[in-house]
Amino acid sequence: MQLGLSVSDSDVSSFTPLVVLELADDTKAEAITWLLNRIRGKQQNGGAELLVDQLLFPAQDGQKSNQNVFVVGSTLQRLLKGAEDVGLFKEFQDGTMRGFTYANRESFKDFYGDGEGFLSDAECQYIIKHELDTLRAKNEEHVPGYPKVKLYPGKSVVRRLQSKGVLVQYFPLHNKEDLKRLSFSWYKKIKLSFQPLDDIRHYFGEGLALYFGFLEYFTFALVPMAFIGIPYYLFDWEDYDKYVLFAVFNLVWSTVFLEVWKRCSATLAYGWGTLSHKKAFEEPRAGFHGALGFNPITGREEPVYPSSKYHLRIYLVSVPFVLLCLYLSFYVMMVYFDMENWAISIYNENPNLATGILLFVPSIIYAVVIEIMNLLYRYAAEFLTNWENHRLESSFQNHLVLKVLVFNFVNCFASLFYIAFVMQDMVLLRQSLATLLITSQILNQVMEAFLPYWLQRRRNKKVHKRMRRMMGDKELPLLEQVQLETEMNTYLGTFDDYLEQFLLFGYVSLFSCVYPLAAVLVVLNNITEVYSDAFKMCHVFKRPFSEPAANIGVWQLAFETMSIISVVTNCALIGLSSQVKAYFPESETQMILIVVAIEHVLLAFKFILAFVIPDVPKHIQVKLAKLEFDSLEALKKRRRALGRLVRCYGSSDMAQLDCE
C-alpha cells in the first residue's frame, strides 16, 4: 500500500522533514491509515495537525525493503502554537526570559515577519515529539488490525504502539548544513578554547549542552589540582607526610567546585530559558503495565499497578540481587589481592625487569574485570528496574541511577579503601590507583570512541554502496540520509557520560593526595573526551530529541555525596600519616577522636560554604523576581478589567454609557 510518493527531495518540497517515523515491516494497512489520519487530523478532532509523508525505498539485493518509513514535519504556524503548548521560554524585547505565547509573538526578540528562523531545529523537533506523544485514543477499543493491542480513552497512541513493537522507532533528522557548521566549530579545529555551548544547545537541546558544559567546567576546575599535583609528584613522591596539605586543599576544592557549578548551570539555564521552565505532568511510561483503573488526577482510565507488588519486587528481589552483586564484587577483589601477593612473592624471589612488570599485571587484569562487571551489571540493573514496573520515567531513572551508582562505587573503589585502611600500604595504593585510572581511561576511549566510529564507518560504506548500486546515478540525498540514520546507534542519554565523570571525580577527590597525578590524567582524559563525545554525537548516533533541562538533575546529588565521602576519606588518610601519629605516640584513641573532630569541623565548614554561596547568581535572582512581579501585576490588571466589564454590563443603561 502506498501512502505517499516521497522518492526524492523534490517530492517532499511541500514541507521540511524533521522527524522520521518507522513502523514494523508487517504493520497492518488499517493501522497505518488510522495512525496517519490521527497525525494529520485537526486538533479539535483529537489529531496532531502535522504533515506526514511516506518514503519509498527500492528493493535491496532482491529483497523488498521496509516501506513503512515516514517523515513528519509541520507548518510554521502550527510549530509556533506548539511552542506555547510545551511552554518554551524565549527572550522578550526587554531582555527577560518569558514563556512564549502565540498572541504576543511579535513582542519577543528575534521574531521577524512570520517568525521564520525564530525556533531552532531542535525546538521544532521537540514540539513535534510532544504532539506525537500526546496523541490520545478516543473511542477506539484497540489498534485497528490488532485486536489484542487494547486502547482506552486518554491512552497515548505512540507509547502503546512502541510498547507492542508496532512502532519500531522515531527520531529527529540531522540537518546537514547546521551539523557541518557545528562540527567545524566544535571538534574539527583542535584548539584550546571554550566549547560552543549555545550552538550545541541550538542543535541538540539543553540537556546535552549542560553535559558538555559540565564536562568543560570540570576539566578547567581540575587544572589547579593538576598544577599542584605535578610538583608533589616530582619532589615529594615518597614523603607521604606531605600529602596532608594536598588533602586539605582537596577538601576545599571539591566543595567550591560543586557550588560554583550550580551558579554556572543556573546562568546557562536562564540564558536558554529553562531555569523557570515548569516540568510537564508526567505520563505513564511506555512499558508500564497493570489492570485498567482510574487516575484521580487526570480523570482518565490508565493501567494501575498495586504498590504492594511494586515494593515487594524492590525489597524481595532487587535489593537481594544488588547485595549478591556486591558480594561477588568483594569476592573478585579478594582474588585480586591473592594475585597481587603472588606477583610480589615472585618479584621478591627474583627481582628483575620481567618480574617488575609482573607487579602491574594483577592491577591491569583487575581493572579490565571491573569494567566488564560494570557493563554486565548495567544490563542487569536496566532489566531489573524495568521489571519493577515503575509508573513514571523519573522513578525508573532514579532507581536505575541508585542501583548503578552503588555497584560502581563499590566495584571501583572497594579495593582502594581496603588497601588504604586495612592494609595501610600507601605504595600499593598509589600503584593500584594509577593502574585502575589509566586502564579504565584507555578502555573507555576504545569502547566509546574508536569501536563505535569503526562500526559506524563500516555501516555507512555498506549503505552508500547499496544505495548507489540500486539507484544508479539518481540523486537521492533524503532517502540515503534516512537509510543511514535508521541504521545508526540510538543515543541512550547522558547517563553513561555522567557516570564516567562521577567515577573520575571519585578517583580525584578520594585518593589523589596519595597519587597527585590523578588530576593530570583526568584532565588529559577529559580533553580527548570532549572531542570523542562531540564526534559520536555528530556522526555515530542518531540525533536525540531535545529535552529542556535546568540542571544536571540527580547527578548533582551524586557528586555532592561523593564530595562528603571524600571529606571522611581524606581525614582518615591524614590520620594514617606518620607525621600525625608522631604527635600521639602513646594514645591512638586520642588521635582518632581528634581526627574525627576535625572531620566534623570540615563537614560543618563544607555545609556552611554551600549555604553561603548562592545557587543562583544575584542578577539572575533579580530578573526572576522581576518576571514574577510583572506576571502578578498583569494578572491583577486582567482581574480588574474583567471585574469592570462585569459591573458595566450588569448595571443600568446610564452606567453602561459611562463605562463606554
Greater pLDDT, 639 or 145:
145
Q: Which of 184-188, 290-294, 398-402, 480-484 has the lowest mean pLDDT?
A: 290-294
Q: Please state, in angstroms and rounded to a whole number, the distance separating the CA atoms of residues 362 and 339.
A: 6
Note the pLDDT tens digit of each residue in 339-371. 888 888 888 888 888 887 888 888 888 888 888
Distances (CA, A) of 203 to 198, 200, 303, 345: 9, 5, 36, 57
Give the per-residue pLDDT at 324.
Answer: 93
| Grid cell at residue 580 | 600525625
| Grid cell at residue 391 | 509508573
Provide the mean pLDDT of the chain.
Answer: 81
Q: Please state, in angstroms and rounded to a whole number, the distance separating the CA atoms of residues 71 and 51.
A: 8
Distances (CA, A) of 257 to 260, 494, 609: 6, 21, 11
Give the per-residue pLDDT at 509.
Answer: 87
- The packing angle between helices 243-272 and 554-576, to 10°, is 170
Give the per-residue pLDDT at 3.
Answer: 37
Note the pLDDT tens digit of each residue in 528-544. 888 888 888 888 888 99
pLDDT band at 214 (very low <50, low <70, confident <90, very high): very high
Greater pLDDT, 218 or 162:
218
Note the pLDDT tens digit of each residue in 547-574. 888 888 889 999 999 988 988 888 888 7
Note the pLDDT tens digit of each residue in 609-653. 778 878 888 878 787 777 777 777 777 777 777 777 666 665 555
For the cut 50, the answer to whether the pLDDT of residue 51 exceeds it is: yes
| Grid cell at residue 305 | 499497578
Contacts of 19 (CB under 8 A, 6+ apart): 71, 72, 73, 125, 128, 129, 132, 170, 171, 172, 173
| Grid cell at residue 355 | 618480574
Give the per-residue pLDDT at 447.
Answer: 72
Distances (CA, A) of 283 to 259, 386, 390, 468: 33, 16, 12, 44
Identify whether the C-beta of residue 222 lies closer than 8 Å to the C-beta of residue 519: yes
SS3 101: coil
Give the per-residue pLDDT at 642.
Answer: 73
Q: Please state, in angstroms and rounded to a whole number, the distance separating the CA atoms of residues 65 and 234.
A: 63
Q: Which of 17-31, 62-76, 232-246, 475-489 has the lowest mean pLDDT?
A: 232-246
Identify whether the C-beta of residue 325 lies closer than 8 Å to the C-beta of residue 379: no
Identify whether the C-beta of residue 63 lies closer than 8 Å to the C-beta of residue 53: no
For the cut 80, the answer to whether the pLDDT of residue 659 exceeds it is: no
Most confident among 139-143, 198-202, 294-298, 580-584 (mean pLDDT): 198-202
Query: What does pTM read for this prediction?
Result: 0.85
Greater pLDDT, 606 or 211:
211
Greater pLDDT, 151 or 287:
151
Give the per-residue pLDDT at 461.
Answer: 62
SS3 143: strand
Closest CA to 491 of 234, 204, 117, 143: 204
Q: Please state, in angstroms and rounded to a whole number, the distance separating the CA atoms of residues 614 and 616.
A: 5
pLDDT band at 12 (very low <50, low <70, confident <90, very high): very low
Contacts of 221 (CB under 8 A, 6+ apart): 253, 257, 260, 261
What percentage of the chain reaches a pLDDT higher than 90?
13
Give the CA dihedral 332, 338, 341, 346, nearest 10 degrees: -110
Identify whether the C-beta of residue 203 lies closer than 8 Å to the C-beta of residue 122: yes
Neighbours of 43 (CB within 10 A): 13
Note the pLDDT tens digit of each residue in 248-271. 777 788 888 888 898 899 889 888
> Mean of the pLDDT values across residues 572-597?
77
Closest CA to 297 of 276, 316, 283, 279: 283
Closest CA to 435 of 507, 541, 380, 532: 507
| Grid cell at residue 578 | 606518620
Q: Please state, in angstroms and rounded to a whole number, the distance separating the CA atoms of residues 395 and 401.
A: 10
Contacts of 171 (CB under 8 A, 6+ apart): 19, 20, 485, 490, 542, 543, 544, 545
**Amino acid identity at 620:** I
* Paired sense of beta strands 19-23 and 69-73, if any: antiparallel
Q: Which of 153-157, 285-289, 302-306, 614-618 has the lowest mean pLDDT?
A: 285-289
SS3 291: strand
HSE value, Cβ hemisphere, 13 Å, CA-based, for 547: 16
For the cut 70, the answer to whether the pLDDT of residue 607 exceeds it is: yes
Note the pLDDT tens digit of each residue in 410-448. 988 988 998 888 888 888 888 888 888 888 888 877 777
Identify whether the C-beta of residue 573 lies closer than 8 Å to the C-beta of residue 243: yes
Distances (CA, A) of 149 to 27, 29, 164, 390: 13, 15, 7, 21
**Amino acid identity at 222:** L
Note the pLDDT tens digit of each residue in 295-335. 666 666 667 778 888 888 888 888 999 999 999 999 999 99
